[in-house]
A and B are shown apart, each in its own frame.
Chain A
Amino acid sequence: MTSEPVRKLSVEVNINGTPHKSEVESRTTLWELLSEKLHLTGTVRSCNRGTCGVCTVLVDGRPFYSCHLLAGDVNGKSLTTIESLQSDRIVSTLQKAAYSCHAAQCGYCTAGWMVAAKTLLEKRLDVTEQDVKETLAGHLCRCGAYKSITRAILEAAEELRSGKGDAAPSTDHSVIVPMPMVRDYSTGGGHGKSQTLIEGDERIVTVKWQGHPPAGLGIIGKPIPPLPEVSKPKISGSAEYATRVVRDGMLYAAVLGSPHPHARIRRIDASKAGSIQGVHLVLTCENAPEKNPLGRELNFQGDIVAVSFAESEDIAEDALDAIEVDYEKLPHVGSLDDALKPDAYPLRLDGNMLHIDEEDPAYCADATARWSHGSVEKGFADSDIIREFTYRYGGSTVLPMQPLSGVAEWDGGTLTFHGMAQGINASRRQLSQWLGIDGKNIRFVDKWNGGTFGARMTLRPLDGLIAHAAIVTGRPVKYSLPISSEISQVALKPEVLQKFSVGAKKDGTIVALKCDAYQTVGFTDKTPTAGTPLNESARDQFLLYGVHIPNWQLTSYCYKTNTPQVGAARSNTQQEFKLGFECMMDELAEEFGRDPLEYRLRFVSRPGDVLSPASDWGSEFGKKIELENGGLKFDSYASVEVIREGEKTFEWEHKAYADIGKGGVCRGVGVAVVDHHGGQLGWREGEVGFERSKGDVFNAEIVLDSAGTITLKNVQPESGTDHDTSIAQTISELLGYKSIGKIRLLWGDSEIGVDSAAWFGGRTNTLQGGAVLVAAEKLLGDLRTRAAAFLGAGAGELEIEDGVVHVKGSRERSVSFAELARHAGGTIRQWGVTKTGPGKGRALVRSVGACFAEVEVNIMTGVWRVKRIVFVQDAGKVINPLLSEGDMDGAFIQGLNTTADGIPWDRTAPGHLLAGMAFLSYRMPTIKEVPDEIRHVFIESLEPRWYFGYKSFGETAIGAVPSAIVNAIYNATGVRIREHPITPERVLEEMRRKVLSG
């Protein structure tokens, strides 16, 4: 042999025209060379196994996954990364189109697909949708923005071909159906018969308040691309996700998770690990900080045993291999089936089932909670037909494309943490508790997240350990978890078993409905209150149909298990509960020979319907919101419109299941309709309820400066929702601007100095946006007063037009906002506050969604594909149709994901995961699974209690996706799938069962 094998090598590579020379380990990947060594951080990494595409770069002009090449492989080659592309005509055109088409939601996949798209447009410009699908096949987009990405590439090609560009931003697959405001029925602070209303259990007297009516709007309702300071960095590869933070001398963390679902550490020895060259610290149960300890008892697979900190990820992993652990395996409860066994291992002294507070009206001794109306026993006695149905949901999650990650820096007195969560101040407080450091000395930065979806709502103790390590070692510390570890660190959707008993008259009228819902909660003793976090959405369907069902009962049974915690995962407890309910409605419709739509329409709640006696609903709609003036009424509730408009757009025609076509392929259609909250509405400053509320507080500041710029300080991190753009639209509207061009944004950093509650559960645009609007209203009043004085006119004589105040009828008597600010010494500041109301906020803020699906099923292979979708949403006033269209695309794709795929459990060993194959273990839809046709219908059922009639959406219709697909599969094949995930093997299994049973 002429030379010896080497562990270190020198790499010379030309990157974007610049030569680089670097010394690397043989195992250093190209991504590590680019991002962590050369600090070319535009290329991000997700799965690190070649199964997602976000890290794509061009090597000698061809696309490769940089995580899955060794640095040594590119020696002597030319690389092109997203950084190069500002000067490239194709890419600058792509970037422009991506911006105007809103093709980057969270933006984490953008750099990867954009360099791949460049290779397509270099070859030719007469590209089709199919070409885009082929080129981007190997690029996952977790937000589900595939349609916008495709459109951006086609528009860029068109512009490069014709030289003509700058088409006005527009939507291309959604329609908005306007609705008059439903006023007469409003209660709870909206439009009651009298001006004064009495709300809530505290009998608060509040004045009628409507916010601003959605009339004469100029900016609200326009498809405007997102605020450039938020969106353009996503597209150019410079949005600072925690993973893009690189520092000299940085340490990397690696996490050792428990291999067992339940075990005790008998002995742990990290001394060998600690002595490996390059390892700076190993934290175990023996030396983790007291305020943020690591336990000796491990309660689910992946529960943290140890964290190592070293000069590279590889060395940190070497250290994990060298830790000696002696585990004592303990009996465990690894699944819902385990939990339901009479001899289940006790994880709690008083049984594994949790209970809600005894004071809650839904409390019961034999279950976690029970809600009921009428008497189901009586209802069943009155029934002609009684049917029973059982459905199972296997659990699911939504792993964001950005790996769970963070970077901590300590300068001896101040900690700076670049994190990934859905709240700035809450995160800072959490770190302060774990570290015992005053919050003043912690800066929490989180401007961009590569998705969070609720699964990554808050920091986890691991973040505290990372910060601790930065303080102890004096070095910046970074972590970025592999999928196999992070699946234990995000919120999972639970396993659910629903048993329904339905009593009906011969004509199909439901007179009794009983549902027993069993679910896992993961390893927690936290008693779920009636509203949160577990059972809330299980009740949604009873709001949708329960008013017209005289007797019903819903009982929830929640079990503690040795599995990771459950929680929101692109909506909280929706898909998992609604799958069963909406399949049952389909089965009943068939039983009674009714069209599935007509059958549902017989029962749905409508405006004017009074919610049955409030005490039936537990704390949320019960004791806390009981209205003196006649009970809680539905008002902004477009149940009928959602169904009818969807029917029209889909051209619904429901026949008995179709003939089997060529090659065993058949098609069918299905529908599902769901209720969900329409966001949380609370109180704003000045209302009586505001003073009494003990809920979460949302703050915002806006600053007008002498250049006429409005700086909006909204601290919330951006995770792909672009909420700040719609908020900018509302305040621009309020202030009389003709565009959002005057708005500048400060966000995602505790240094901004605006403390505000975290965002989730549809309260970003409503409550956080409301705080901004309160500030804007104050600013408007202030400007009017100042202008009146300045112009020597009465306030009533003034008109405002695009940043200029003038006296009515004499435009020359005018003063601009900028001049007013100059006159006031340079800036005018206003502060706005809102607070949450009781339960889910004031009154009955609900919304309705529907999914109409056409699927194609190959009955010989069980493989099914969605071919056509109409997705309908009771939306309130649509502020920005472009963003809304993207949000609904994403909701559908993620709903498709949580239908087809679950958690990669070992099916034979409950509590054990088989997650070692990254996105092959956990499959999310690719661009090739996007249906040929997706159309969205927004019903503008104006919300009377809030500014401009908007409410929250995007999370409602998602709950309808799994059941619409299952119903369509039934319509196509005659086979009913009652167990999730909806895999080809399950379709075939049911086929076989059907054949055997004749």
Chain B
Amino acid sequence: MKQFSIYKPKTVEEALAALSSGEKAAAIYAGGTDLLIRLKNRLYTSPDVLVDIKGLEDLRFVRYDETGGLVIGSLVTLGELAEAKEAVHYPVIAQTISSISSPELRNQSTVGGNILQEVWCPYYRSDYRCWRNGGDICYAEVGDNTEYQSIMGAKKSFAAYPGDLAITLAALDAKVTVAGPEGRRQLTIEELIPGEVEAEGKIQSHVLRRNELLAEISIPPPGNDELYLFGKVRKREVWDFASASAAMRLSLDNKTIRRASVFFGGIATRPWRDRRLEDYLSGKELRYDLPDSAIQEVLVDARPLPHNGYKKDQAVGLLNSMLADAVSRVK
């Protein structure tokens, strides 16, 4: 593993101060499941200083807010969140988490780290000097883009955003609170992860600045008559990242969809909201023929790379089966 220094702040303020100091950006070390691989693979841009925030108990909680919504501290592990009794009103969260990595890694990975994880493009992870690793090229755009790249286009870096929890949270209208030296700000998941952000001489998926950290996630209270769905396509049932994943919230009037919220994972540089599909679905009745008609409207503006066109098929197929599931659940 690459050599680094580690600093253990006792408060959020100390952590923010540590992140601000130094010439090169320090990295937040929480669960570390992603960061340690980058350090072990000695990526050119892997950090020299880690700020270990695991001791910040202020960031480790799951509670209700005054509106009955859920607030999750960013240091809560995926395993803790899946088991949290406060989260039972959103079973789709536990369902999403159960599809992520492995039980042991879920004991270690934090909610914040999962949302902010780096891409899994094999060129990046193998220390090719790409946009995300101190270079000025996307190897995958012209090279092997079979598994881990966007089918929805990109400006420069085609690596797909790999997170599953983020799409579920986005579908639940979650907001994140970012703590920085100037105080706290709230962002939607879409605002937090626009996909390609130039910072510190490289491209990253999220908008956090070097001196900020993700503090908590708030989810509005569940509405009446809502359906939450999550699905994931991958080669193996453990460890593998989504070839395509999708999270959906359907707000219903009896069997009629009042409002739909649909996000895809693993297929774009960010959690991909399919507004055209959302518009199509709203006002439709959850009937047996809806899945087959709806898939005509899914990801119509996809622009796959030479090797990953199948990911669109998978995303469409996934959406189809999720809608079929929704139909069977309102019967």
A988 and B310 within 8 A (CB): yes
Q: What A residues does B10 contact at CB under 8 A?
A: 2
Which one, A1, A63, A858, A908, contacts B103 given CB within 8 A? A63
Give the interface size bracket for B toward A. Answer: 35 or more
CB <8 Å contact, A862 and B5: no
Bound Cα distance from A318 to B2, whole angstroms: 7
Q: A68-B108, A69-B108, A921-B122 are in contact. Are A50 and B37 (CB under 8 A)?
A: yes
Of all chain A residues, which has the CB nearest B10? Answer: A2
Complex Cα spacing A914 to B41, Å? 12
Asked if residues B314 and A860 are in contact (CB atoms below 8 Å), the reply is yes
Partner of A137, one of B103, B127, B310, B316: B103
A317 at the interface (CB under 8 A from B): yes
A73 in contact with B314 given A116-B104, A314-B1 (CB within 8 Å): no
User: Could you give, for residues 1-22 of chain A, a 1 whenever the CB lies within 8 Å of some chain B CB and a 0 otherwise?
Assistant: 1111111010000000000000
Are A317 and B42 interface neighbours, CB within 8 A?
Answer: yes
* Nearest opposing residue in chain A for B102, CB measure: A138
Stretch of B64-72, B183-191, B197-205, B236-244 that contacts chain A:
B236-244
A920 to B243, CA, bound (A): 13
Q: Please, what's the 1-or-0 string for A712-753, where 1 marks a CB less than 8 Å from any CB in chain B?
A: 000000000000000000000000000000000000000000
Asked, given contacts A26-B4, A27-B3, A916-B126, whether A929 binds B236 with beta carbons under 8 Å apart, the answer is yes
The smallest C-beta distance from A197 to any residue of chain B, in angstroms, reads 53
Output the nearest chain B residue to A662 by Cβ-Cβ distance: B324
Q: From B101, B125, B146, give the contact of A916 (CB < 8 A).
A: B125
Q: Known A53-B102, A906-B144; judge A4-B239 contact (CB<8 A).
A: no
Interface CB pairs A-B, < 8 A, 12 = A25-B3, A26-B5, A26-B50, A50-B105, A53-B102, A63-B104, A68-B33, A138-B103, A860-B314, A863-B233, A906-B144, A928-B236
Is B181 in the interface zone, CB < 8 Å from A? no
| Pair B235/A3 contact, Cβ less than 8 Å | no
A830-873: which have CB < 8 Å to B? 858-863
Scoring A5, A9, A318 by chain B CB atoms within 10 A of each residue's CB, the highest score goes to A5
Residues of A close to B50: CB separation below 8 A: 5, 26
Query: Any chain B CB within 8 A of the CB of A907?
Result: yes
Q: Say if the beta carbon of B211 comes within 8 Å of chain A.
A: no
Looking at the assembled complex, report how far the CB atom of A724 sits from the nearest CB atom of chain B, in whole angstroms: 34
Of the listed residues B3, B39, B233, the one surrounded by the most CB atoms of chain A closer than 10 A to its CB is B3
Q: Nearest Cβ distance between residue A322 and chain B, in whole angstroms? A: 12
Q: With A and B bound together, what is the CA distance between A134 and B104 in angstroms? A: 11
Partner of A51, one of B122, B144, B146, B239: B239
- The interface residues of chain B lying within 8 Å CB-to-CB of A204 are none
Could you tell me if B103 and A923 are in contact, using CB atoms closer than 8 angstroms?
A: no
> Which B residues are in CB contact (< 8 Å) with A947?
none
Given contacts A26-B6, A663-B320, contact A907 B233 (CB under 8 A): no
A308 vs chain B, min Cβ distance (A): 14
**A860 pairs with B321, CB closer than 8 A:** yes
Decide yes or no whether B91 CB sits under 8 A from chain A: no
In the complex, residue of chain B having the shortest beta-carbon distance to the beta carbon of A2: B14
Does A983 lie at the interface of the complex (its beta carbon under 8 Å from any beta carbon of B)?
yes
With A6-B5, A860-B317, A861-B317 given, is the CB distance from A56 to B122 under 8 Å?
no
Q: How far is the CA of A760 from the CA of B307 in the complex (A)?
A: 40
CB-CB under 8 A from A983, the residues of chain B are: 235
* A residues 61-100 touching B (CB-CB < 8 Å): 62-65, 68-70, 72-73
Do A69 and B239 contact each other (CB < 8 Å), given the known contacts A138-B105, A916-B125, A921-B122? no
- Chain B 76-109 against A: per-residue CB contact (8 Å), 1 yes, 0 no? 0001000000000000000000000111110110
B222 lies within 8 A of chain A by Cβ: no
User: Closest A-chain residue to B313, C-beta based?
Assistant: A988
As a 0/1 sequence over residues 642 to 665 of chain A, the CB contacts with chain B under 8 angstroms (1 = contact) are: 000000000000000000001110
Give 9 A-B pairs besides A908-B144, A929-B236 with Cβ atoms closer than 8 angstroms.
Answer: A1-B14, A7-B5, A53-B102, A70-B6, A116-B104, A663-B321, A916-B127, A917-B125, A929-B237
Bound form: Cα–Cα A101–B136 in Å:
56
A901 and chain B: residue at smallest CB distance: B235
For B325, the closest partner residue in chain A by CB is A663
CB pair A48–B17 under 8 Å, yes or no, is: no
Q: In the complex the two chains form, what is the Cα distance from A48 to B41 in whole Å?
A: 11
Collect the chain B residues with CB atoms within 8 Å of residue A927's CB: 238
Q: How far is the CA of A62 from the CA of B108 in the complex (A)?
A: 10
Q: What's the Cα separation between A991 and B309 when bound, in Å?
A: 13
User: Is the CB of B7 closer than 8 A to any CB of chain A?
Assistant: yes
Contact, CB under 8 Å: B6 / A984: no
* B238 touching A907, Cβ below 8 Å: no
A907-B307, A929-B237 known; A4-B104 Cβ under 8 A: no
Given A116-B104, A138-B104, A860-B321, A48-B40 contact (CB < 8 Å): yes
Q: Which of B1-44 contact A (CB under 8 A)?
A: 1-8, 10, 14, 17-18, 21, 32-33, 36-37, 39-42
Q: What per-residue 1/0 map shows which CB atoms of B296-331 lie under 8 Å from chain A? A: 000000000001001001101110110010000000
Which B residues are in CB contact (< 8 Å) with A50? 33, 36-37, 104-105
Partner pick for A907 among B18, B39, B123, B146, CB 8 A cutoff: B146
Could you tell me if B235 and A863 are in contact, using CB atoms closer than 8 angstroms?
Answer: yes
B27 nearest CB across to chain A (Å): 12
Instruction: Say if the beta carbon of B143 comes within 8 Å of chain A.
Output: yes
Partner of B144, one of A25, A134, A862, A914: A914
Report if B159 contacts A (CB, 8 A).
Answer: no
What distance in Å separates the Cβ of B183 from its nearest Cβ neighbour in chain A? 20
Q: Which residues of B contact A (CB under 8 A)?
A: 1-8, 10, 14, 17-18, 21, 32-33, 36-37, 39-42, 49-50, 52, 54, 79, 101-105, 107-108, 120, 122-123, 125-127, 142-144, 146, 233-241, 243-244, 307, 310, 313-314, 316-318, 320-321, 324
A69 with B6: in contact, given A862-B310, A926-B236 (CB under 8 Å)? Answer: no
Cα A909 to Cα B239 in complex, Å, equals: 26
Pick from B37, B126, B307, B320: contact of A49, CB below 8 A.
Answer: B37
In the complex, A135 has a CB within 8 A of chain B: yes
Q: Which residue of A lies closest to B235 (CB)?
A: A923
List B contacts of A26 (CB < 8 A).
3-6, 50
B104/A53 in contact, CB under 8 A: yes
Q: A9-B6, A65-B105, A116-B104 are in contact. Are A923 and B240 (CB under 8 A)?
A: yes
Q: Which residues of B contact A4 (CB under 8 A)?
A: 5, 7
Chain A 406-439, CB-CB to B under 8 Å as 1, else 0, gives 0000000000000000000000000000000000
* Distance A921 CA – B5 CA, assembled complex (angstroms): 29
A861 touches B103 (CB 8 A): no
What distance in Å separates the Cβ of A170 from its nearest Cβ neighbour in chain B? 30
| A138 and B238 contact, CB distance less than 8 A | yes
Closest chain B residue to A56, Cβ basis? B104
1/0 contact string of A661-680 vs chain B (CB within 8 Å) = 01110000000000000000
Q: Which 10 residue pairs across A and B have the least CB separation, nearest first?
A: A860-B317, A138-B102, A5-B5, A916-B126, A928-B237, A5-B7, A914-B122, A663-B321, A985-B310, A926-B238
- The answer to whether B1 and A62 have CB atoms under 8 Å apart is no
Of B103, B234, B244, chain A has the most CB atoms within 10 Å of the CB of: B103
- Would you give the shortest CB distance from B135 to chain A, in whole angstroms? 15
Cβ-neighbour of B239 out of A5, A68, A860, A919 (below 8 A): A919
Known contacts being A914-B126, A984-B314, is A27 close to B39, with CB within 8 Å?
yes
Q: Give A50 to B109 CA distance when docked, in angstroms.
A: 11
Shortest beta-carbon distance, A967 to chain B, in Å? 21
A929 contact set on B, CB distance < 8 A: 236-237
Inter-chain contacts of A69 with B (CB < 8 A): 32, 108
| A321: interface (CB < 8 Å) | yes
C-alpha gap A270/B329 in the complex (Å): 66
On whether A6 and B6 interact (CB within 8 A), knowing A29-B1, A48-B40, A914-B144, the answer reads yes
Q: Which residue of A lies closest to B77 (CB)?
A: A62
B151 to chain A, nearest CB (A): 12
Q: From the candidates B3, B5, B314, name the one contacting A988 in the complex (CB within 8 A).
A: B314
- Closest A residue to B3 by CB, please name it: A27
* Pair A923/B5 contact, Cβ less than 8 Å: no
Q: Which chain B residue shows the least CB distance to A133? A: B237
